[in-house]
Amino acid sequence: MNESRQLNATILRQLFETKAIRLERGAIFDHELASKGPDFDFDRVAGMLLGAAIGDSLGNTSESRLPLVRHQLHGEIRDYLVRDRTGSAMGYPSDDTQLTFWTLEQLIDDKGEFIPEHLARKFAESGRIYGIGRTMKGFLDAFKSGRPWYESGPHSAGNGALMRIAPILIPHLRHGGTDIWTDTALSAMMTHNDHASTSSCLAFTAMLWELLDMKTPPDPAWWPKRYAALATDLQGNIGYSPRSGCMKYSFDGPLHQFVSEKLAWAYGENLSVMEACEIWHSGAYLLETVPSVLYILMRHAHDPEEAIVRAVNDTMDNDTIASIVGAAVGALHGKRGIPARWVAGLTGRMAASDDGKVFSLIEEARKQFWTCDNFL
């Protein structure tokens, strides 16, 4: 184990011992992943990353609108909306893309080592974050005031850590092992120190790893069952309650329990994505985001375009939900499964004038973290 990995393992152990990290030490931390084989297709990783960026860009021009209001304004959104004075309909980033690809860029700069202090500085020093959430702003304020990164993350069950977690797995493709879980937990709790958030980041990292190898889409029931199996012992008995709507006061328990109960019911009733998300809501609170993401994938993971379209049109926090859904279907279907018009229309920006940066970072990640020549 090299120096940075040894340090991360020590930090995480101390955080568990002092209960400074809001997370139970579940079985996943001892689960050793096998490395990806020589026939692994990096197109899957490219799809995962592009899916995240495209979902964000398709959604962020109509973020936080009620789905019915959005439909009245735009009809069904299946392509980028016009958003600048040139009248061009292109894909531009918000915080989902920026934080995801700043994470990837820092991993590249650090040669695949996850150095939390470096990532915290990256977030703090990279310039304007478009549509920054309250929790992320709270983290930046604390970190810039001099607090260490591991004490700067607010206690928040928002979706801001989950939306940027996908790149963490990439440096581990060739080696597998268990360090991926330490990296994921530390990256997540840095900005959102909460049981539901960090456990969901760990569960989704594991699920993305598995999706990268799948030859066909999993059975619909796999999505909530796999999430619950991974997250249960990480979440413990920490309770979360719906914050509004018809489910308010109807549940108080761990997130994995909510997912297991409500998704099985909704799928059994054959509810559409919009119908289900109207019931449990689909904002940035993880009791809304996680079931919304998983239900979209239950119903539409076999069709990556439709999965992302449903996330964009049928949810409130549609850029983040579409970004997470996009990462999942991109990992499952690869870049070749994403509509070419969406890839062609993506500016690839992370800032105001760095067009193409997203694409160059994906190519650099392929060169640094993989040795095959099958990237398209």
Query: pTM score, two decimals?
Result: 0.97
Q: Is residue 8, in this structure, part of any structural domain at all? A: no
43 is in an annotated binding site: no
User: Rounded mean pLDDT of the chain?
Assistant: 96
109 is in an annotated binding site: no
- For residue 54, is pLDDT > 70? yes
79 is in an annotated binding site: no
Average pLDDT over residues 269-274: 98
Question: Which of helix, strand or coil describes residue 84?
Answer: coil
Q: Is residue 79, in this structure, part of any structural domain at all? A: yes
Give the pLDDT confidence of 158-196 residue by residue, as tens digits: 999 999 999 999 999 999 999 999 999 999 999 999 999
Q: Is residue 259, in this structure, part of any structural domain at all? A: yes
- For residue 298, is pLDDT > 50? yes
Q: Is residue 59, in this structure, part of any structural domain at all? A: yes
Structure confidence at residue 84 (pLDDT): 64
Distance CA 200, CA 206 (A): 10
145 is in an annotated binding site: no
Structure tokens at 231: 């997250």
Average pLDDT over residues 358-371: 96
- For residue 376, is pLDDT > 70? no
Average pLDDT over residues 182-211: 99
Average pLDDT over residues 90-95: 96
- For residue 308, is pLDDT > 60? yes
Q: Is residue 358, in this structure, part of any structural domain at all? A: yes
DSSP state of 82: P
- For residue 370, is pLDDT > 90? yes
Give the pLDDT confidence of 127-163 residue by residue, as tens digits: 999 999 999 999 999 999 999 999 999 999 999 999 9
62 is in an annotated binding site: no
94 is in an annotated binding site: yes
Q: Is residue 287, in this structure, part of any structural domain at all? A: yes
Question: How confident is residue 350, by pLDDT bands cut at 50, 70 and 90?
Answer: very high
Question: Which of helix, strand or coil describes residue 347?
Answer: coil
Q: Is residue 314, in this structure, part of any structural domain at all? A: yes
Distance CA 65, CA 369 (A): 39
Q: Is residue 218, in this structure, part of any structural domain at all? A: yes
Give residue 293's domain range. 39-369
3-state helix, strand, coil in the chain (%, to 5): 60, 0, 35
Average pLDDT over residues 239-260: 93
For residue 83, the domain's CATH number is: 1.10.4080.10
Number of domains in the chain: 1
